[in-house]
Amino acid sequence: MSLTIYRAAAPLDARALEVLLARLMREQQQRYPGAYPTFPPDAAAAAIAAGYAPRLGSDPRLVAVLAVDRAPVGCLVGEVVTRPVGRPATVCFVEWFFVEPDLRGHGVGRALVRAGLRVLAACDVTHIECQSVPGDRQWQRRGWTETARRYVAPFADVAQWVDLEELDNVPG
């Protein structure tokens, strides 16, 4: 690795985010094949990056930082959310966090987090939140506290569970 630069993502970085997000999704699907939801990585990453593109560099509630070493090698993307009720009121929900596998363990992830925290310093954020797939314990190893679990069931199963008879064509 030569010189890695950590910086806020700009509008022209949408393609770089797309590439990194697709790599992250492929890796997660290989490592955790039962994870939900399942995305076609390239199509999902393109759609997600396209959604971020008009906000990059202009929306202070979107936190997107890149690690660049000739080419992008990592990213952190999160949203600042203010809850109308409850505490903590203002949090950053980290949606995506990725470092190229061969650069892990070299401080790139920590530097991305530092760059993100610098952006968040002006946002009154008091907590950082993230979610992970079942079996991924990386956040617990870093001292984070588990606060919630998510569950999923097919619509038809839920309808059957509650004896929903008035629907003739329940999605399968």
- Write down the domain spans for the chain: 5-161
Q: What are the pLDDT digits (tens) for 99-134?
A: 999 999 999 999 999 999 999 998 999 999 998 888
Q: Which of 172, 152, 149, 145 is nearest to 160 (CA)?
A: 172
Q: What are the pLDDT digits (tens) for 127-137?
A: 999 988 888 88
* pLDDT in the model for residue 113: 96
Q: Decide which of 3.30.1360.120, 3.40.50.300, 3.40.50.10680, 3.40.630.30 is the CATH code for 5-161.
A: 3.40.630.30
Query: Which residues in the chain come in under a pLDDT of 50?
Result: 1
Torsion of CA 23, 12, 117, 107, to 10 degrees: 50
* pLDDT in the model for residue 170: 53
* pLDDT in the model for residue 135: 83
Number of helical H runs and strand E runs in the chain: 5, 5
* pLDDT in the model for residue 164: 75
Residue 82 phi/psi, 5-degree rounding, is: -110, 115
Report the sign of the C-alpha dihedral through residues 140, 77, 74, 65, in that order.
negative
* pLDDT in the model for residue 75: 98
Q: Which residues 6+ apart lie within 8 Å of 28 measured at CB?
A: 35, 133
pTM summary value: 0.86
Percentage of the residues of the chain whose pLDDT score is greater than 90: 68
